Amino acid sequence: MVCAAPRWWGDYNALYRCCESTLKYVKEHGKGRAACYLDTSNEVGTFLNQIYTEEHPVNAIGPESSRAGDGLVPFALDLLGKSRNLDDAVNLLLARIGKTCGFDRVSIIEANRAYLTYRFSYQWARRRTDLQMGQDFYVSDEDFELCSAMYDEDGLADHNLRDGISDIASCLHAGIWDYGEYAGSMSFEVDQEGFEWTMEHRKLLKELVKIIPSFIMKSKADAVSRAKTDFLSRMSHEIRTPMNAISGMTTIAKSVVKDPVKTLDCLEKIESSNVYLLNLVNDILDMSRIESGKLELCYGTLDLTQLLASLESLFHAQALEKGLTMCLKDGRSRNRLLRADSLRLNQVLVNMIGNAVKFTDHGGITVRVEELEANPRAVLRFSVADTGIGIEPSSLPNIFNPFEQAEASTASRRGGTGLGLSISYRLVQMMGGVLEVTSQVGRGSEFFFTVAFDYAADAAADAVETKGPVVARDFHGRRILLAEDNELNREIAQTLLEMNGFKVECAVDGQKALDRFCSGEPGWFDAILMDIRMPVMDGLEAARRIRTSGRADARTVPIIALSANAFDEDSRKSLESGMNSHISKPIEVDKLMRVLEQCIGGAK
């Protein structure tokens, strides 16, 4: 057997493996039959597909038949069941279908409800100019619903996509469903207006759409399972690393307690490890809320100049420590207050800049804000470019998937969980934009997105929260009722409050807190700090009882929730029960003092 290829073909190893597997098939099944199983990358597989669908080995697969489409179903089962590389096998199968039936294009389109995207995951086209494989198309929520509802009782739709997605005249689609959810479609296309799809075409598509997507979904499920296993392994490492630092530094601090300098160094390292661990937990919680659809944006007034300045101060020292330059370019004509979720926008930019610093060893990082439109809304393009290691082309399609990182070797060297970019992608999408990336290995990457913001109508209506340094506050003479069932947490909160001048009385459950409040004189307590989960009576019920107790100060005494529950709905429940504010544990001392200062002022 002679296998000829154009002289410009350069991947001889892939070509050799192709020939070897083809010869093995011929040896086992006799002359006139061959199959190519390509253990190459998707790009190489697509290229081989274009070459070999025009050559005899591929065209000779399977018996010739009197009707177009005969033998394609068993051929599909045989090919997909035996192939070691599903991507190449599917593309090869689509080529066989298209050539046998005389179609101009055969595609498998993946629909993503969460991201509102369509993607040509697998495709064959008679003309290379018609290939759109790997391209993403963004649609509105309404258009997505219309597409998922267009199929008839047989699961088919005779519908063309002449709307920017496709320019081929006639299309026959079969819906792909995953546990009742619309997941995409498989399509036959012919570039002929008014083309009549026969019953044979419809029957073939109905059969193939049962087979091919099932293999693809199984492969993806296996990949997700592997990714989650890898993620759990990384997560174990990421959690145990700061825990080891906290445990080790605590032991060291005990042994050098007489050396204040060394003790302080240990405490600072414990604090930094604690911050890292808290951020890790927050990432996991954010991803959980996003996946369950429970995360909501909270819009307020944003001073973008102030936010950018805080980002520059946050990362300047890190960049300088690695010998990197950091340049921030604000291209807006003037600074105007915006309506935005400043916390989530800051979270996205922190992740983008943090990754740039992490994956850059030489050169620098450039953060840009460009004003694309100023009226009637501010349309801003945010970008973070670096001169770092770059991202492999094979990793780019999965870069925003949860539980995944570019490469396992990179993860082991650079650290991280693989959640940050996925969270950022979804947050940007919730803001109305799309987070995108361009990258070259060895030359760096650029992450960017564009979002439209409304201008703040009344700057005084929503004060922009500023996080200044911890300052000394004097609450001398102020009385606090602290309701907390956990002894250690109670000791921590009481000590922190007393350090700032408060007189603290404690209650171990909600009922005792209610009884103590009602037994005192009106105005005796300046504020109540209430844990949420307590025995006998929880904090929410205790707050409701206090507000409806009928005392003179029942509706005016500030009640602040102290809770390990950090979700938005938990904060909402606290406010609905009559509390003034909700602070998540672990307690940030400065935040707690700021809230108390807003509620009750300073010393008596």
**Residue 207 within any structural domain of the chain:** no
Average pLDDT over residues 136-142: 81
pLDDT value for 509: 95
Residues 522 and 590 both lie in one domain = yes
Distances (CA, A) of 47 to 110, 189, 392, 498: 21, 21, 19, 72
Taking residue 563's Cβ as centre, other Cβ atoms within 10 Å add up to 21
CA distance 462 to 303: 11
Does 73 map to a domain? yes
Q: Are residues 173 and 248 in the same domain?
A: no
Q: Which of 272, 291, 310 is the last residue of a domain?
A: 291
Q: Work out the number of other CB atoms within 10 angstroms of the CB of residue 126.
A: 19
Mean pLDDT for all residues in the chain: 81
pLDDT mean over 158-170:
64
CB under 8 Å to 34, separation ≥6 — which residues?
22, 25, 26, 57, 58, 60, 61
DSSP code, position 340? E
Neighbours of 229 (CB within 10 A): 11
> Which CATH number does the domain housing residue 135 bear?
3.30.450.40
Is the peptide bond preceding residue 393 cis, with omega within 30 degrees of 0? Answer: no
Please tell me whether residues 438 and 316 are part of one structural domain: yes
Which tokens in the block code for residue 91? Answer: 């593309």
How far apart CA 142 and CA 144 sit, in angstroms, is 5
The per-residue pLDDT for range 522-567, each reduced to its tens digit, is: 999 999 999 999 999 999 999 999 999 999 999 999 999 998 876 7
205 located within any domain: no
Boundary residue ending a domain (249, 273, 291): 291
Same domain, 96 and 7: yes
Residues 348 and 373 in one domain: yes
Q: Check if the beta carbon of residue 287 is closer than 8 Å to that of residue 402.
A: yes
Q: Tell me which residue range forms the domain holding 43.
A: 1-102
Does 215 fall in a domain?
no
Same domain for 492 and 592? Answer: yes
**Total tally of structural domains belonging to the chain:** 5
Same domain for 250 and 319, yes or no, is no
Q: Report d(CA 513, CA 450) in Å as an integer.
A: 50
Give the integer Cα–Cα distance in Å for 399 and 379.
25
Instruction: Give residue for tokens 């065209």.
Output: 59
Amino acid in the structure at residue 332 = R
CATH classification at residue 594:
3.40.50.2300
Q: Which residues contact 188 (CB under 8 A, 6 or more apart)?
A: 97, 101, 103, 105, 106, 171, 172, 197, 201, 205
Q: What is the DSSP letter of 129?
A: G
Asked if residue 469 is part of any domain, the answer here is no
Q: Kindly tell me if the per-residue pLDDT of 409 is higher than 60.
A: no
- Does the pLDDT value for residue 124 go beyond 70? yes
More confident site: 62 or 430: 430
> 166 pLDDT band (50/70/90 cuts)?
low
**Residues 449 and 345 occupy one common structural domain:** yes
Tell me the average pLDDT across 509-528: 94
Coil, helix or strand at residue 595: helix
CATH of the domain at 233: 1.10.287.130
Position 16 scores a pLDDT of: 58
- Residue 347, pLDDT score: 92
| 123-127, 371-375, 404-408, 493-497: segment of lowest average pLDDT | 404-408
Please state, in angstroms and rounded to a whole number, the distance separating the CA atoms of residues 440 and 392. 7
pLDDT band per the 50, 70, 90 thresholds, residue 473: low
Q: Are residues 412 and 306 in the same domain?
A: yes
Query: Are 173 and 81 found together in one domain?
Result: no
Rounded to whole angstroms, how far apart are CA atoms 134 and 42? 10
The CATH number that applies at residue 404 is 3.30.565.10
Is 216 inside a domain boundary?
Answer: no
- Single out the residue in 455, 470, 487 at which a domain terminates: 455
Least confident of 63-77, 233-247, 563-577, 589-603: 63-77
Same domain, 442 and 517: no
And the tokens for 140? Answer: 């509105």
Residue 461 counted as domain residue: no
User: Are 96 and 111 within one domain?
Assistant: no
Strand duo 378-386 + 338-340: pairing:
unpaired
Structural Rg of the chain based on CA atoms: 31
Integer Cα distance of 158 and 196 in angstroms: 9
Q: Between 232 and 257, name the one with better pLDDT.
A: 257
| 534 in a structural domain | yes
